[in-house]
Amino acid sequence: MAATNTSSDVKLIGAWPSPFVMRPQIALNIKSVGYEFLQEQLGSKSELLLKSNPVHKKIPVLIHGDRPICESLVIVQYIDAVWASGPSILPSDPYDCATARFWAAYIDEKWFPSLSGIAKAQGEEAKKAALDQVVEGLVLLEDAFVKCSKGKAFFGGDTIGYLDIALGCYLGWIRVTEKMNNRKLLDEAKTPNLVTWADKFCSDGSVKDVMPETDKLAEFAKVLMAKFRAPPPN
């Protein structure tokens, strides 16, 4: 379900390639909350961003009225609580909620660093080891999906929930990594449930308009890698 109601007091500071920015975008779409998207440019930070997030100076930032909320999963939790009349994002059961939070923390703290580490790996052996580490993490998440989904289409059950958003925002970058390394990370043999889930997630109305195209994201990744590998200025 895409956002339909306009809300002039809701703004989101972000950038289209960022998986973290996609999280509040999906949450706002699930709740049918309209918002103004304020695009940050690569390599520069706006005065509004620095003023709104002086601690981390990072996107995304949700501005609701004149109050900024920072950090992607904190923003998702805020959206779920404030627009409570829409479909729930966090599980209502305390154990299910704790489990979703646990796996979301694992994704950001353990799994995503291994995914981003692939581009930084030096040499074929190091790259293969980094790719293997990502797949090992996805196998763990495959098992988590079976337990959390309870036979339904998503981690959150019949509809997209907190853990779906936490992992699903990285699907564009998984596809780019697969393309650039000529290796499947999500495959039928090791993660059959996640393969099916990924297709359903990307085709959902709350996601499809904010999920970047793989080719466009791959071009952006090449620019990032060139900047990363460039020698420092004298």
Over residues 53-111, the pLDDT tens digits come to 999 999 999 999 999 999 999 999 999 999 999 999 999 999 999 999 999 999 999 99
208 and 109, same domain (yes or no): yes
User: Do residue 14 and residue 51 come from a single domain?
Assistant: yes
Residue 53: per-residue pLDDT: 98
Q: Are 69 and 164 within one domain?
A: no
Per residue in 23-61, pLDDT (tens digit) is: 999 999 999 999 999 999 988 999 999 999 999 999 999
Cα pseudo-dihedral 113, 116, 121, 127, rounded to 10? 90
User: Is residue 11 within 8 Å of 161, Cβ to Cβ?
Assistant: no
With respect to residue 232, please indicate whether it lies within any of the assigned structural domains: no
Residues 160 and 67 in one domain: no
- CA 80/CA 221 separation, integer angstroms: 31
Last-in-domain residue among 50, 82, 114:
82
CA proximity to 108, closest of 145, 139, 143, 71: 71
Is 44 among the domain residues? yes
pLDDT of residue 6: 47
In percent, the amount of the chain with pLDDT more than 70 equals 94
| Among 8, 12, 27, 6, CA closest to 63 | 12
Please tell me the total count of domains within the chain: 2
Q: 73 and 110, same structural domain?
A: no
Q: What is the rounded CA–CA span in Å between residue 211 and residue 67?
A: 27
More confident residue, 162 or 2: 162
Do 69 and 111 fall within a single domain? no
d(CA 10, CA 98): 28
11-25: pLDDT as tens digits: 999 999 999 999 999
Q: How far is CA 86 from the centre of its chain?
A: 21
Q: Last residue of some domain: 18, 51, 82?
A: 82
pTM: 0.93
Residue 3 in any domain: the answer is no
Residues 6+ apart with CB under 8 A from 75: 23, 24, 27, 60, 61, 62, 69
So what's the pLDDT on residue 2? 40
Shared domain for 213 and 99, answered yes or no, is: yes
Is 102 in the same domain as 200?
Answer: yes
pLDDT confidence of residue 225: 77
| Domain shared by 76 and 37, yes or no | yes
- Please determine, for residue 231, whether its predicted confidence score (pLDDT) is greater than 80: no
* Cα–Cα distance measured from residue 157 to residue 185, given in angstroms and rounded to the nearest whole number: 24
Q: Is residue 100 located within the same domain as residue 209?
A: yes
pLDDT at residue 54 in the model: 97
Residue 176 in tokens? 């780019």
Q: Let me know whether 98 and 73 are in one domain.
A: no
Q: What is the mean pLDDT of residues 204-224?
A: 94
Q: What is the pLDDT of residue 8?
A: 66
Task: Give the mean pLDDT of 167-192.
Answer: 96
CA atoms within 13 A on the CB side of 173: 22
Do residues 112 and 42 both lie within one domain?
Answer: no
CA distance 12 to 76: 12
Q: How confident is the model at residue 229 (pLDDT cuts 50, 70, 90)?
A: low
Q: What is the CATH number of the domain that holds 50?
A: 3.40.30.10
Give the pLDDT confidence score for residue 4 in this predicted structure: 40
Query: What CATH number is given to the structural domain containing 178?
Result: 1.20.1050.10
Q: Whose CA is closest to 162, among 3, 30, 12, 2? A: 30
Quote the CA–CA distance of 31 and 92 in Å, as a whole number: 16
Structural domain boundaries enclosing 37: 10-82
